[in-house]
Amino acid sequence: MTTLWQGQLKLTYAKRGQVTRVIDSYSQSPLKLQRSFHPDGQTCQSLILHTAGGIVGGDRLSQEITLHPQAEASLTTVSASKVYRSSGPQSQQTLTISLDHDAYLEYIPRESIIFDGARFQQQLRVDLGENAVWLGWELLRFGRTARGERFNSGDWRSQTHIYRNGVPLWIDRQQLAGGSPLLDASNGLNGQPVVGTLAWIGQPVSPEIVDKARHLWKMRDLEGEIALSCCQSGVICRYRGRSTQKASAAFLDLRQLLRHSKGDRPVTVPRVWSC
């Protein structure tokens, strides 16, 4: 009989002097917090590990992340996530993020592989204090394409809600049913297995940064398409193509430009990504 997980992770960050640290944490399997780093001497970079190796139907995972005033943190995952086929219940992941005034959080997990037949739903809510900024992305591969697999059955859903003082700044709802015409439609995946979204919400982005990002991408072989648009409270970037590595590289380009807009400290790639 398959064991269904009820995993939890609760993290609280606070600034101590010039350095942000984890001041409170709680984890319940299969979620685990690994060692934190401070690559620029101030930002706390944390690694999340899913010890079960993948998500199966019926799993319920939740994460609660809180940043105190002026805290700066960056979270990523140790490895790609796998969402396995389910002939029964749906698996769910809920993320609740609260940033106090002037806080900054990056939530930049590695890619998720959605197996054919997977049934998965994710809900993300972010509440921003004054001048707080959230940068988050999601990279998805539908089907194990190295095996010639397509997402012919199953269901994937994602809801993102970003608020400041109860006012919505960005609401994004997406859904893809296995075997849907959207897998090949020009207004869907257009036959590409990889899609990604990056959002920077809480601070306007200058046209110069947008131009620089587009210029960098012109010099890359992205193996797909990428689009960037500004909104009143930030910027949204979308990718569709064949390579999660190419998508990650493009998103890292934009992340570096956006981070430089907040200060002159060096911007580093999470060290686990080079392992």
Each residue's pLDDT tens digit, 148-182: 999 999 999 999 999 999 999 999 999 999 999 99
Single-letter residue type at 65: I
pLDDT of residue 242: 94
Q: Tokens representing 108?
A: 């930049």
Local structure of residue 110 (DSSP, 8 states): P
pLDDT of residue 73: 96
Mean pLDDT of the chain: 92
pTM of the predicted structure, to 2 decimals: 0.93
Phi-psi region of 23 (alpha: psi -120 to 50; beta: other; left: phi over 0): alpha
Is the CB of residue 26 less than 8 Å from the CB of residue 48? Answer: no
Domains in the chain: boundaries: 6-201
Is the CB of residue 245 less than 8 Å from the CB of residue 224? Answer: no
Single-letter residue type at 100: D
Phi-psi region of 216 (alpha: psi -120 to 50; beta: other; left: phi over 0): alpha
- How do residues 28-61 score in pLDDT, each as one tens digit? 999 999 989 998 889 999 999 999 889 999 999 9
For residue 265, name the pLDDT band (cuts at 50, 70, 90). Answer: low
- How do residues 173-219 score in pLDDT, each as one tens digit? 999 999 999 999 999 999 999 999 999 999 999 999 999 999 999 98
For residue 275, name the pLDDT band (cuts at 50, 70, 90). Answer: low
- How do residues 112-141 score in pLDDT, each as one tens digit? 999 999 999 999 999 999 999 999 999 999
For residue 274, name the pLDDT band (cuts at 50, 70, 90). Answer: low
Q: Tokens representing 147?
A: 């095996």
State the Cα–Cα distance between residues 226 and 87, nearest whole angstrom: 34
pLDDT of residue 4: 80
